[in-house]
Amino acid sequence: MQLIRGLSNITPRHHGCVATIGNFDGVHLGHREIIKRLKRHAEALGVPSVVIIFEPQPAEFFQRGRIPVRLSLVREKFEMLRDNGVDRLLVLRFSPELSKYSAERFVNEILVERLGIKALIIGDDFRFGKGRDGDFNVLQELAQKSSFTIEQTPPFLFIGKRISSTYIRNLLRHGYLKEAERMLGHPYCLSGHVVHGHQNGRKWGFPTANLNLHRVKNPIVGIYAARVHGLSDTPLMGIAYAGTRPIIDDPRFVLEVHIFDFDQDCYGKRISVQFCSRIRGDMDFDSFEDMAEQIKRDCEAARKSLTFEYRGS
């Protein structure tokens, strides 16, 4: 899959495609239905399929200081969209200038003139443009003027619930990992490069791989049984902590994972941590010793959970 970053990198060879626009946060089953339709139209017309996303996401741009929780970063979206057969990913910087584009200007200048779209596929709740003035009715009028077709996908339901990134975030926030996984269509994971931490875990007998997530907020906080991908041919079992480590007064969101029966240098490597079950939420401790004792109990619980899950599969 080709990655196109910014309007300046759209060239004449990118003219002619079928496109869709959205956040695609988590690339869940609803998004995958849009992608299926996108690919179907692209194949019928003999042109590439293009997914258009914005960075930062519009909600992040407009809610500065109250940044919304996010399921996936650009690299993670790229990998999932690539694995679902999308031809191109166009990442547009959501700038003050772009935020002032009306729906008509965005369609005419970017979708029609720059990309030469043959068809546009959108989700059931899609709106865009200044003041969110671009709904399906507006897009239908613009499509007729510019001779491209438009298709709106119906809501994608799972057990009577409309699948959305917001709903999945709420499931993860409350520890309903299996329900979130069913709506995502894949296990929820966080990925990043292993960096040097405070080394406290090693002092207590629980060395951890610390991931640089480049995230401000994440939908999950607490202790989780986990599987770690990227360090061996098969996933490794471990226990992960996601949060801000209040005991050492560090406000940064971190992900630390203690891998069971593993003692190798993995600094600099990119790994993916799959959250399998929630052990507990964040806790306050009077001392590091109390926390170390609790971690021992957490590790036992995580091992049992992962072993039971393995045998059950």
Does the pLDDT at position 97 exceed 80? yes
How far is it, in rounded angstroms, from Cα 129 to Cα 134? 6
How far is it, in rounded angstroms, from Cα 278 to Cα 174? 9
The verdict on residue 18 lying in a domain is: yes
β-pairing, 117-122 vs 17-21, is: parallel
The verdict on residue 17 lying in a domain is: yes
Percent of the chain with pLDDT over 90: 61
Strands (DSSP E) along the chain, which ranges?
Answer: 2-5, 17-21, 49-55, 88-93, 117-122, 149-152, 157-158, 161-162, 189-195, 209-212, 222-229, 236-243, 254-259, 270-280
Is residue 12 domain-shared with residue 95, that is, in the same domain? yes
Is residue 104 domain-shared with residue 196, that is, in the same domain? no
Residue closest to 168 by CA, chosen among 71, 256, 293, 43: 71
Name the pLDDT band for 215 (thresholds 50, 70, 90).
Answer: low
Name the pLDDT band for 263 (thresholds 50, 70, 90).
Answer: confident
Q: What is the DSSP string of 103-153?
A: HHHHIIIIIIIIT-EEEEEE-TT--BSGGG-B-HHHHHHHHHHHT-EEEEP
| Contact partners, residue 83, CB within 8 Å, separation at least 6 | none
The verdict on residue 176 lying in a domain is: no
The verdict on residue 171 lying in a domain is: no
Is residue 26 domain-shared with residue 149, that is, in the same domain? yes
Is residue 193 domain-shared with residue 44, that is, in the same domain? no
Is residue 230 domain-shared with residue 98, that is, in the same domain? no
Name the pLDDT band for 65 (thresholds 50, 70, 90).
Answer: low
CB 279 within 8 A of CB 301: yes
What is the per-residue pLDDT for 206? 77
Does the pLDDT at position 271 exceed 90? yes
What is the per-residue pLDDT for 290? 85
Does the pLDDT at position 265 exceed 60? yes
- What are the pLDDT digits (tens) for 105-149? 999 999 999 999 999 999 988 888 787 777 888 999 999 999 999
C-alpha distances in Å from residue 295, one per residue of 290, 292, 310: 9, 5, 22
The verdict on residue 172 lying in a domain is: no
CATH of the domain at 117: 3.40.50.620
- Of 122, 144, 161, the residue at which a domain comes to its end is 161
Is residue 98 domain-shared with residue 217, that is, in the same domain? no
Is residue 61 domain-shared with residue 202, that is, in the same domain? no
Is residue 79 domain-shared with residue 206, that is, in the same domain? no
Is residue 108 domain-shared with residue 198, that is, in the same domain? no
Does the pLDDT at position 249 exceed 70? no
The verdict on residue 181 lying in a domain is: no
Owner of token pair 């109990």 = 297
The verdict on residue 180 lying in a domain is: no
- Of 117, 145, 161, the residue at which a domain comes to its end is 161
What is the per-residue pLDDT for 112? 96
Is residue 198 domain-shared with residue 141, that is, in the same domain? no
Q: The dihedral of CA 293, 294, 300, 303: what is its sign?
A: negative
Domain count, the chain: 2
What is the per-residue pLDDT for 10? 96
Is residue 66 domain-shared with residue 157, that is, in the same domain? yes
- Of 95, 126, 161, the residue at which a domain comes to its end is 161
Tell me what the mean pLDDT of segment 3-30 comes to.
96
The verdict on residue 173 lying in a domain is: no
Name the pLDDT band for 172 (thresholds 50, 70, 90).
Answer: very high
What is the per-residue pLDDT for 69? 84
Is residue 264 domain-shared with residue 149, that is, in the same domain? no
What is the per-residue pLDDT for 218? 79
> Between residues 39 and 155, which one has the greater pLDDT?
39
Domain of 85 in residue numbering reads as 2-161
CATH of the domain at 198: 2.40.30.30
